[in-house]
A and B are shown apart, each in its own frame.
Chain A
Amino acid sequence: MLRRYELHNHTTHSDASITCRELLEVMREDQVQVVALTDHNTISGHRELRELLPAFPGLQAVFGMEYTTYYGHILCLNLTRYVPWDRIDRNCPEKLFAACRAAGALTGIAHPFSYGAPFARGCRFDMHVRDFRDVDFIEVFNNPEPLREVNIPALEWWEDLTLQGEHLAATGGMDLHGHRDMSMMFATYLEGDAAHDPGEDLARAVRGRRTWVSRGMALLWTPEGDGFRFRLEDLHKPGFRPASLYLLTIRSQAGQITRPLEGDTLYLPLSDLPPGPVRVLRLYRKNTDAENLICVCPPMT
């Protein structure tokens, strides 16, 4: 079962206009299953959110922080203690990623292509990562950001790194700072169970690169004969508008194919897939314009 995680949210503990309680209300209203608290450079909201959570049955939480540095924002999830960042070296950010990882957190690069200086220093990721071993994910969709100028470059960066062999998951988030309509926005979906610890399910999915970044429809696949059977799964995200035609693109380092789904499934023999050890998949509706992108799937290995 794919569960919806909203992985990037702020409260009045940093610079948002909504309190912890309001954040939970917003998430409950939109039928979110797991909410992450990721205030800028503080973990002070963790206790409050944890205490409020029992009043919101069915809603679970993971706790983190958005490291807001001079050279980029780093989302840390499952972060239980503050790890200092003030010695950040843009030419060696691996030290901070490793320190957060050592504290048990999942580390990710947030909105890497946002506009930064001279407007908002640090919003663009200007660090030079040479070694991605301590980076767990890239936020490929930060919903408030412009699609073509900011989010698509982030997605292409993640795809290129993935095809080059880096082991990174993709995530998407609202970067919520207030009340906002979340319909048709990208959220992160992963396999999990309400009976599990949501942080553990998240860690398992991110480390296994089993995340779907979707506006409301996912694509799953299973081996069948000498190929793969792909099928759509409706994620029942409020406000999602289904389409009559869906298209699948599969890209490897050797090439790319685009195929329409027949109804809600598609069979592809192995010989039709672009060759390579890893492939990246996108699901579109109607056509392959960026505006019609519906889902970024886990890499196919």
Chain B
Amino acid sequence: METADVVIVGAGIIGLSAGYWLAKAGAKVVVLDKGRAAQESSSRATGFLSLRGEEPLEAPLALAAERLWNTLDEELGYPTEWRQKGRLWVALGEHERDALDEKYRGFLNTGIPFERIDGERCREIAPSLSPAVIGGIHTPRSGHANPQRTTQAFAWALRDRGGAIIEERPVTGIHVAGGKVTGVATPAGDISAGVVVVAAGAQTSKVAALAHVEVPTATVRLEACVTAPLPPLFDVAMVGGGLSLRQTRRGNIHFNGGPHEWVDVELTEEPAKPNTPILRNIARRLAELMPGIRDIPLLRSWAGVLEVTPDQMTILERLSDPDGLIVASCSGHGFGMAPSAGLAISELAQHRRTSLPIEALGLSRFSTLPRDWKARRRWEPGRYNT
């Protein structure tokens, strides 16, 4: 039988990061994926590091990620296109200004230097912004990277250090004996391991259920778009006009946001990820935010399926029952936190504990979650935009 120290279920950005840190530490690590690496949530990522300043549960892990991001290219040996050029939230009209002010109040108690700025200042940072932008919040911290290149950098670096990634090998069972994890089952045979990490994105709940562990997540389909390349227009990670957007190193504007559909996924199948005519509205949001680029072509759109936890915060815990099972879900915004979340998983897998700040991210916070939480919120498959 194949053996490993650690089996990671899911070759997305979280699983690959965890695998990288484990391989670097000398552990025998195998990362499995039902399909190809980084094709689900990780392919739909905007590519932001969000500092999560307003969220005390996650902010410490995000800050740890920021430190790792700044040297990640050297660490991995491959380019991620990371650039720490700050973040800008902008308000397009009065309605968004009210929401912005509320967000700013939440930022005031963080140690991160956020500045409330006017529309003119926003346009100094990003001259292509519409004259209708009437205010913003800016921080020189935070940044963005290329999701495709980052996942590949982790994957290559992982293999360089002796780890294995096996694609198109779904996990169909988790073996538990005497309260301890002993390995996984796959259609191509079992792999024994004392530690199993579930980092399966939209499939996380289904994979964890194989070990009779309930991880509350709902899954959602979202759409993303990219324009033809443009000369450099802005370098901040931007949120505004109903979109999240960044300009890539190549010059394309990568943008997403808007209505989404709650969906269901299968344990081992790739879910359908269709685009819808909503992409026209997403394009309209960008044309409104930056009217000067309305003649630039929309080049591509695509969709992704990702998981959302009940409080939209990360779940990261090494369980005691069964012992050896680690559950990791970053609630659909794991890209930025992947370096530190992966490092935490690596330490948990090797030492049962981690120096990284994840105390608040355990499953116990959902102990009073009503069983019908998805129905109450209308986060059920087939529901739209609620």
A in complex with B? no
Residues of A participating in the B interface, judged by any CB pair closer than 8 Å: none
Residues of B participating in the A interface, judged by any CB pair closer than 8 Å: none
